[in-house]
């Protein structure tokens, strides 16, 4: 069968590729000069205006048909 006759070619390619990948991996694994990822600052908490929030909630509750008691 064709796969039995030419399987050694694929096996040789696989071994060559594996050797190259291992060489590159172990070369960079010990490299401490590699760039480190930049940490992103935490996003600031949003500022909420209490009176705007009260107005929004009152509007939402009145659209639902309820009554709002917000002081």
Question: Using an 8 Å Cβ cutoff, are 20 and 12 in contact?
Answer: no
Q: For the chain, what are the domain ranges?
A: 1-33
Q: How many helices (H) and strands (E) does the chain have?
A: 2, 0
**In terms of C-beta distances under 8 Å and separation of at least 24 residues, what long-range contacts does 22-26 make, across chains too?**
none
66 Cβ neighbours under 8 A, 6+ residues apart: none
Distance between CA atoms of 66 and 71, rounded to whole angstroms?
A: 16
Per-residue pLDDT of the chain in tens (71 residues, 90 and over written 9): 566 666 667 778 888 888 988 888 877 666 666 667 788 888 888 888 889 998 988 888 888 887 656 55
């Amino acid at each position: 069968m064709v796969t039995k006759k030419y399987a050694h070619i694929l096996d040789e390619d696989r071994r060559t590729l594996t050797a190259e990948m291992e060489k590159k991996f172990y070369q960079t694994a010990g490299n401490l000069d590699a760039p480190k990822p930049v940490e992103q600052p935490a996003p600031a908490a949003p500022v909420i205006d209490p009176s705007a929030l009260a107005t929004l909630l009152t509007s939402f509750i009145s659209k639902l048909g309820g009554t709002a008691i917000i002081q």
